[in-house]
């Protein structure tokens, strides 16, 4: 009898364990992505009913030129999910890795018009429209999917540090005379809110980024 009771207990415990794990996985899948409202990138989960929902940090207005010579601004990306990063074409170190990883994101969503890539040059005095166009051709960049942006250096640096928190807290204390260099990829939703931060030099991080983009698409 003791053995039967023990067997029944183990079966019951196993069922509860599996059921609990299934529920936990379900809850994890249904949990929306957080918002990032500060340069320390502390994730915050804010419900629509919360007072602070209307005060969630958004990317400031911008207006830069892409590799095709077209002006790209907030309205161009309104309603789009996009991945933003900062690079320069003659970068010999981390930028080639970042570009290679973004090529994977481009390939994954090549036929999805709701997903875009936006790379801002941090060396606009070198990266003119024509230079960016050549760079795009070299790397198989789809001009309708992936914007390489150039413009006024001070405005690019201000946007990077104050809106995208590109260099985290350290960037807030710097000005446009101090060179900006970061490996971060920033995931932005259709309302211009930051929803994810990734190391752009690590291929495995692209798996997480792709998954988060798909989650954002499901959230609508």
Number of domains in the chain: 2
12 & 58 share domain: no
- Average pLDDT over the chain, rounded to whole? 86
Question: CB of 123 within 8 A of CB of 151?
Answer: no
Domain limits for position 92: 34-219
Whether residues 127 and 209 share a domain: the answer is: yes
Query: DSSP code of 44?
Result: E
pLDDT of residue 181: 81
Same domain for 13 and 40, yes or no, is no
Query: CA–CA separation, 183 vs 51, rounded Å?
Result: 33
Sort residue 22 into left (φ over 0), alpha (ψ -120 to 50) or beta: alpha
Note whether 11 and 50 are same-domain residues: no
Place of tokens 């290679």: 100
Residue with more model confidence, 59 or 19: 59
- Residue 30's pLDDT is what? 43
| pTM strictly above 0.75 | yes
């Amino acid at each position: 009898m003791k053995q039967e009771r023990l067997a029944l207990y183990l079966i019951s415990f196993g069922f509860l364990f599996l059921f609990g794990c299934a529920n936990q996985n379900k809850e994890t899948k249904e949990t929306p992505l957080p918002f990032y409202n500060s340069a320390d990138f502390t994730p915050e989960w804010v419900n629509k009913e919360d007072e602070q929902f209307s005060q969630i940090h958004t990317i400031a207005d911008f207006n830069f030129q892409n590799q095709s010579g077209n002006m790209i601004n907030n309205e161009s990306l309104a309603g789009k999910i996009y991945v933003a990063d900062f690079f320069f074409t003659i970068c010999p170190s981390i930028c080639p890795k970042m570009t290679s990883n973004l090529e994977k994101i481009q390939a994954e969503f090549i036929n999805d018009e709701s997903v875009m890539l936006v790379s801002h040059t941090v060396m606009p005095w070198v990266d003119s429209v024509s230079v960016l166009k050549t760079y795009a051709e070299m790397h198989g960049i789809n001009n309708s999917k992936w914007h390489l942006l150039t413009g006024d250096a001070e405005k690019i640096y201000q946007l990077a540090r104050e809106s995208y928190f590109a260099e985290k807290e350290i960037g807030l204390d710097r000005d446009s005379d101090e060179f900006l260099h970061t490996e971060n990829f920033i995931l932005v939703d259709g309302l211009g809110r930051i929803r994810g931060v990734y190391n752009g030099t690590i291929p495995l991080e692209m798996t997480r980024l792709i998954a988060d983009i798909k989650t954002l698409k499901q959230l609508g």
